[in-house]
Structure 1
Amino acid sequence: MQFYSFDARDPIFEIDGWKLSLQVITLENIYSPAPESVTLTREPEGWRLRCDRLAWAGGQERAAGGLTAAVTDNDAGGLRITLNASAPEPITSVKLLIRDLPPVQPLTMLDQPRDVPTDGLLDRYPNGIRLPVWLAARSDGGVYGFRCEDAQHRAKRFCAYAERMGPLTGRIAIECIHDEDARHFDTTIHAPTWVLARDVEPDAFRAAQLAFNEAQAGFVPWEGRTDVPGWARDLRLVLTLHGMHWSGFIFNDYAAMLDIIRYVAGQIDGRKVLAYLPGWEGRYYWQYGDFRPEPRLGGEEGFVRLCDGARALGVHLMPMFGGNCANAWMPHFHTFGPSSYMKSATRNVFLGNQPDWNLSRAHDTGWQAWLNPGAPAWQTELTRQITRLMERYGFDAVFLDTVEVWSNDPDFNIREGYRQLVDRLRAGRPDLLVTGEDWYDGLLPIFPIFQQTSKWRQVPAWVGRYARLMGHICDGEPSRGSTGVFESGYAPYERLPDEPHYLPTLAFVDGTLDAARGEIDAVIALAKQRG
């Protein structure tokens, strides 16, 4: 985190024991209410703050614009605050600062306390925390709560730090920041409601946010979802059948995949098994954007035998597709890629995580284009490829990779793009299951099953109210801890937690079936116990 090298002199407003400041951030500068233009009045329903002039340059200059804040009491000894602002240039963000606080320890999504380092602590939503809720514990045992009721799931940031300049030096400030959808940057902004509370019970505070999502954002508990085919509700076991690594190394060809399926279906009803196929299309990620059976894995004939053989056993196949990535060096990339690049709000092209695919240690992946599923050209091309393959091979499910990756693209909303893509794939196919890699709350109404690991990311139990989770390809398989096609290479094998919202998952690379037979049989037995 960076800080200004001067005291910004933001005016502080005292409301019901809270000390608050406000900032308006545009494409070209940062503004605060001009102190001389501010009025704060008590009204029957709460307070209303108005200003008709903005300050900038640490209060040295004035600019046209203004801000209003409607503030009401909430039921948890706190406030509900709704901000509207105007400025000379398009507004990107509005910030609420809660100031003059004692030392705090912000909590993780699993309520684990963290110290605030010298340079501050920053959490981002949705690429980071999964719910726009932030909790901070005090030394007296109390917990501050901050959350934002935004049915559009726009970006938020939360941070805590000790102030460095001015009369509150050494005291803690917490920032709650809302970003506007970059498609709608304008000289006015109407921000969603922030909720502040002094003493909260963490689970209850999150439950209030989830209740808002159910009432306003289309969240439906698992039992009532209409995008879960009947057969998917009977799933008890997931098989991750690794195909071809980025380098071209083959873990399992189509014949080997079918052998594994036959072995498993000999011990459990095949109709309760989902076979997930990462790297089925050839070189993992390199082939993204041109999905088809890979000749070295058995070609079309081999893939047909795999599909027919699995279907005969009742097993459901789920090939993996890149939801937002394609190889920019593919011959036909020019037909859909250049107009579909994922971008930041100010049009920096998004470069993603840049894995070290070739072990050059350079992490230079210029061929790996990150594309916006809301962009018409990419959405249409991906729909065309997946639909053609479904019609040709008849698989029951589709997995979309890296759906959790988000950017505030100024041309097309990424989350809305996934909603459109899934609707197009499922149109006329009520028995099609569409799953995604990882989740944040805005994706829960779109995908009913996610690939998830607890090694990297915390998994709160409340997600099981809405979705089911299967093992991630970064999780090691049971013979040697290989992660198959996944770029990390190795992870110690662990079973998934024995919780109702986790689907037991077994990963297979070359040799797993022979070398880990005991563990394979044990996990199958656990899956059978679920009915």
Structure 2
Amino acid sequence: MALIDTDLSFDPRDPYFPTPGASGVEWALQVFTTDNGYGIDVDRAHVREGDRVHVHADRYARLGQQRPVEAGEVDVEVTRRVGALEWSITVRHDEPVKAVKLLLRGLPPEQLRAGWWTPNTGRSWAHGVNGQRFQLEYPGPDWATPWVAAGDEPNGLVLSVRDPLVRRKILHLHHPAYAPGPIAELVHVPSASARSTTCQVPSIRLRLGATEHSADADLDEHLSFVEGAHNLVPWSSRKDVPDWLRQTALVVTLHGQHWTGYVFNTFAQMAEALRFVGQHIEPHRVLAYLPGWEGRYYHAYPQYRPGEDLGGAEGFAALAHTARQLGVRLMPMFGGHGANVTQYPTWEKSVLRNDTNRYVELLNRPDWDGDRVGEGDQVFLNPGEPEFRAHLVESISAMARDFGVDAAFLDTLGYWFNDPRYEVIDGYRRLADELRRRHPGLVLATEGWWDALSAIFPLSQHWNGADRDLRKPRVLARYARTTGHLAEGTPGPGSTGVHEKGFVRRRDDVEREAHLPIVGIVDDTLPAHADEVAAICRWAQDHAPK
């Protein structure tokens, strides 16, 4: 959870230092351990200026500069290369380093007033317009790769981080009462699993006076770095994308059983829905997405076999047979993290832990039954833990083997957690590698997307509620495809089916690069809104990639 409204109630009195060739732009540094926060001791900072600025300090001060602390040292070098400023930061401390923050002040005010945007920010949107406080966190819905710009495209600035690993980055802009102007904070959070008394911050780059052309070139250079760091392959040459996925024009969400036990569609009704859809769009261009197929949605997690109330194994086999006859592809949904503790007794071995490994991270506790209180038995597990990952592999593999499903959707894997025992991204990679080894043609999809995640999953659901009209669509389109979220309302009143959102009016279909249209079907959709479903199918067929 972003703590955007949490702040110091005093002036940390950080010493600020110059940047070469950027008059008025100054920087400071703060270092955080698991026990406290520190600035550079103003009396022990040694500065060398010239073509580059080098700052060395062999002593810290607690925030506020009231108390010096002999606990380590800091080395920062700022250079100017090909029109961009680059920070190289190394910190050492007697305590393990939890985070390092670069603070920037004196950035061009007209660009700050125009606001900030990332490649995946909506085209008509900007963060922090007119100095409004905001925070971005990578990886996540608002920041798909650690590159961000401020100002209008013909006249702006660009700030980016070249990190070879997936680690939390936070950009926070505010104007505290003690400061003469806005401060941009860029925070690097090392992986808790590799926390050390020494931290080498990945390269931070600032380009001032960027034009649309130079900003685009800078983004392409950044994406080239990301491709090399995360083995991110262009969509056109991905080996994990079969021809049928390239031809897919529509995703049809067939809602199964709600957490409460309410059934939206049995497997037989799902088959009938596919037959109807196949009358209005070429069936081989349809991907059927099945949430709640395992029985009570989320309540049965992480035990995955066809739900008895929907028709059991026999009913699912009949659905799979119908899909094959039509040419429709099936993609059942699995929980990438979610589990009901009553269904998975060894949950404590794999449950996500906080960054100091002192307590369980209790996340995402929806009110599934409408009593206005979050349910108490839902936890999030880490696929980096070998036993849980093996359980997921076996569960998905069984569905591919026994029923010939074409794809598997893994819920929530777009969310990143700093578990000190197991790197989540490593768990995701190992999970995907093992499934592809067993089932080379199986397509893997997940909820949400960001740069390194797109290297693992060629298909995703776009973040719930996020704008699909991306400012720089190539950050997605170059590598992967996405579709509407599970919580997109169905035709008619907008039921979100098995999801906890209740009713949400369906968005109108608009063609967006790299986005596959989606339509959801619940119990009343075809009886009451068949004409609208048919129209959506025809629209998707007409706007499908050629």
Q: Smaller-chain TM-score range? A: over 0.9
Please name the residue that 2:57 is paired with: 51
Cα distance in 2 for residues equivalent to 1:372 and 1:438: 17
CA shift at 1:55, angstroms?
A: 1.9
Cα distance in 2 for residues equivalent to 1:443 and 1:182: 19
Cα distance in 1 for residues equivalent to 2:170 and 2:404: 43
Aligned counterparts, 1:302-341, within 5 A: 302-330=315-343, 333-335=344-346, 337-341=347-351
Indicate whether 1:85 and 2:91 are aligned.
yes
List per-residue Cα deviations over 1:117-141 (Å, max 9, x = no partner). 9994222222342222233339x98
Q: 1:456 to 1:359 in 2, by over 3 A?
A: farther
Cα distance in 2 for residues equivalent to 1:302 and 1:141: 59
Please name the residue that 2:524 is paired with: 511
Give unpaired runs (5+ residues) of structure 1.
Answer: none
Please name the residue that 1:345 is paired with: 355
Please name the residue that 1:32 is paired with: 39
| SS of equivalent residue, structure 1 residue 421 | helix
CA shift at 1:96, angstroms?
A: 0.5
Aligned counterparts, 1:54-65, within 5 A: 54-59=60-65, 60-65=67-72
List per-residue Cα deviations over 1:451-501 (Å, max 9, x = no partner). 125734555222122111122111111132111111111111223431341
Cα distance in 1 for residues equivalent to 2:62 and 2:220: 39
Q: Is the 8 A contact 2:13 2:63 kept in 1?
A: no
CA shift at 1:210, angstroms?
A: 1.7
Aligned counterparts, 1:73-472, within 5 A: 73-76=80-83, 78-101=84-107, 103=109, 104-105=112-113, 106-108=115-117, 109-110=121-122, 112-115=125-128, 120-127=133-140, 128-137=142-151, 142-165=155-178, 169-200=179-210, 201=212, 203-330=216-343, 333-335=344-346, 337-347=347-357, 348-363=359-374, 365-452=375-462, 455-457=465-467, 460=470, 461-462=473-474, 463-472=476-485
TM-score of the two chains, using structure 1 as the length reference: 0.93
List per-residue Cα deviations over 1:200-257 (Å, max 9, x = no partner). 3354543332222123322222111111122222212211101111111111100000
Q: 1:7 to 1:238 in 2, by over 3 A?
A: closer
CA shift at 1:53, angstroms?
A: 2.0
Cα distance in 1 for residues equivalent to 2:463 and 2:237: 25
CA shift at 1:195, angstroms?
A: 0.7
Q: Is the 8 A contact 1:496 1:502 kept in 2?
A: no
Q: Is the 8 A contact 1:117 1:161 kept in 2?
A: no
Q: 1:83 to 1:204 in 2, by over 3 A?
A: same
Indicate whether 1:490 and 2:515 are aligned.
no
Q: 1:160 to 1:492 in 2, by over 3 A?
A: same
Q: Is the 8 A contact 1:328 1:369 kept in 2?
A: yes
Deviates more, 1:341-350 or 1:442-451: 341-350
Please name the residue that 2:78 is paired with: 71
CA shift at 1:116, angstroms?
A: 6.6
CA shift at 1:98, angstroms?
A: 0.4
| SS of equivalent residue, structure 1 residue 199 | strand
Aligned residue pairs total 521
Cα distance in 1 for residues equivalent to 2:451 and 2:417: 15
Which amino acid in structure 2 is aligned with residue 72 of structure 1? T
| SS of equivalent residue, structure 1 residue 89 | coil
Q: Is the 8 A contact 2:268 2:315 kept in 1?
A: yes
| SS of equivalent residue, structure 1 residue 191 | strand
Which amino acid in structure 2 is aligned with residue 79 of structure 1? L
| SS of equivalent residue, structure 1 residue 198 | strand
| Percent identity of paired positions between Structure 1 and Structure 2 | 36
Q: Is the 8 A contact 1:477 1:509 kept in 2?
A: yes
Cα distance in 2 for residues equivalent to 1:496 and 1:178: 39
CA RMSD of aligned residues (A): 2.2
TM-score of the two chains, using structure 2 as the length reference: 0.90
CA shift at 1:448, angstroms?
A: 0.5
